[in-house]
């Protein structure tokens, strides 16, 4: 896919308000959103946003520097400065964060996933330590645009939903669910290294992939592993089969996106850098 052509498209549609040396996707950032920051500069840019460092790499096709950033879910709406240093005068662009209204839902799961039996405590603690260690690693960038969907099936439960489990336990949905019958092939959304591929207490069958720069994707409730820990996988490669293991009410895939220890909205990540669909424009023509 030609990224250059994408830019022309975005500009034509007025999606990118300012065509300066700094561009930020999505056009209307919100709490929970991943961001793609692109910078035109001769020197490698350096920046921090919302207390986290950005890692810029030069896109060989567009000759622009790209970095991921993220807006944690608990960020209040407002204007947040993004200051990028490239050696000379810093490039400044405000990111206006809008409040996204997240739905509420009620979920019923086996009680042992809300109040685990005591004999599971050692296992749960060991798994918490494993995740902490794995997600603290910062490796070289392996991700590239565009991100690919893990399965072609429909999305059932979005990120950020406030869930009430079994009528009492409150929790926020930290990922995106896809409908998937048991045994559906699940694909890596980007290239990376498999850092976890094993059964876990809460996540059930879990695959976690390190895409570099603190970006990890997590695939949960799996019934079968295809990739194993240590494998290098390509974007779109089948890594596992879906299931309903762990804290799950029905067969589905839960996709989590973690960036520098905060969970971000997967649907926006999957759309970063893509040409906006032309369908709405055609529809409008047909309506009049
Ligand atoms: Zn989920």
Q: How many A from CA of 37 to the centre of ligand 1?
A: 27
Q: Is 197 in contact with 240 (CB distance < 8 Å)?
A: yes
- Which tokens go with 37? 């920051």
242 CA to middle of ligand 1, Å? 12
Kindly report, residue by residue over 163-220, the tens digit of the pLDDT.
999 998 889 999 999 999 999 999 999 999 999 999 999 999 999 999 999 999 999 9
Nearest Cα residue to 66 out of 38, 46, 28: 38
**Which residues, in sequence order, are bridge partners of residue 224?**
241
Ligand 1 centroid to residue 247 C-alpha, Å: 9
Asked whether the predicted pLDDT for residue 222 surpasses 60, the reply is yes
273 touches 9 (CB < 8 A)? no
The predicted pLDDT at position 60 comes to 86
| Neighbouring residues of 266: CB distance < 8 A, sequence distance ≥ 6 | 159, 175, 176, 217, 255, 256, 257
Q: Which of 273, 216, 275 is nearest to 25 (CA)?
A: 273
pTM of the predicted protein model: 0.86
User: Coil, helix or strand for 266?
Assistant: helix
Q: What CATH number is given for 104-271 in this structure?
A: 2.70.70.10
Cα of 250 to ligand 1 centre, how many Å? 10
Tell how far the Cα of 244 is from the centroid of ligand 1, in angstroms.
Answer: 11
Q: What is the pLDDT of residue 275?
A: 54
Q: Domain boundaries in the chain?
A: 3-100, 104-271
* Centre of ligand 1 from the C-alpha of residue 46, in Å: 34
Answer yes or no: CATH 3.10.20.740 is held by domain 3-100.
Answer: no
Give the lowest-confidence range in 14-18, 82-86, 89-93, 203-207: 14-18
Give tens-digit pLDDT for 39-68. Answer: 999 999 999 999 999 999 998 888 999 999
């Amino acid at each position: 896919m030609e990224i250059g052509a994408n830019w022309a498209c975005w500009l034509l549609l007025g999606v990118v308000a300012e065509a300066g040396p700094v561009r930020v996707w999505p056009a209307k950032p919100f709490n929970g959103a991943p961001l793609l920051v692109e910078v035109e500069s001769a020197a490698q840019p350096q920046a921090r946003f919302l207390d986290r460092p950005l890692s810029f790499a030069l896109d060989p096709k567009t000759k622009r520097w790209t970095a991921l950033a993220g807006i944690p879910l608990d960020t209040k709406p407002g204007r947040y400065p993004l200051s990028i240093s490239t050696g000379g005068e810093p490039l400044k662009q405000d990111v206006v964060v809008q409040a996204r209204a997240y739905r509420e839902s009620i979920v019923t799961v086996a009680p042992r996933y809300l109040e685990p039996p005591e004999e599971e405590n050692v296992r749960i603690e060991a798994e918490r330590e494993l995740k902490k260690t794995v997600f603290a690693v910062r490796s070289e960038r392996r991700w590239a645009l565009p991100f690919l969907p893990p399965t072609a099936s429909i999305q059932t439960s979005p990120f950020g939903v406030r869930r009430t489990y079994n009528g009492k336990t409150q929790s926020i949905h930290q990922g995106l669910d896809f409908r998937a019958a048991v045994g559906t092939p699940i694909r890596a959304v980007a290239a990376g290294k498999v850092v976890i591929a094993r059964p876990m207490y809460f996540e059930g069958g879990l695959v976690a992939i390190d895409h570099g720069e603190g970006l990890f994707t997590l695939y949960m409730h799996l019934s079968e592993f295809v990739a194993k820990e240590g494998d290098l996988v390509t974007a779109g490669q089948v890594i596992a089969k879906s299931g309903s293991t762990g804290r799950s009410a029905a067969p589905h895939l839960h996709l989590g996106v973690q960036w520098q220890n905060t969970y971000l909205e997967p649907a926006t990540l999957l759309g970063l850098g893509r040409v906006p669909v032309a369908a709405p424009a055609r529809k409008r023509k047909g309506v009049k």
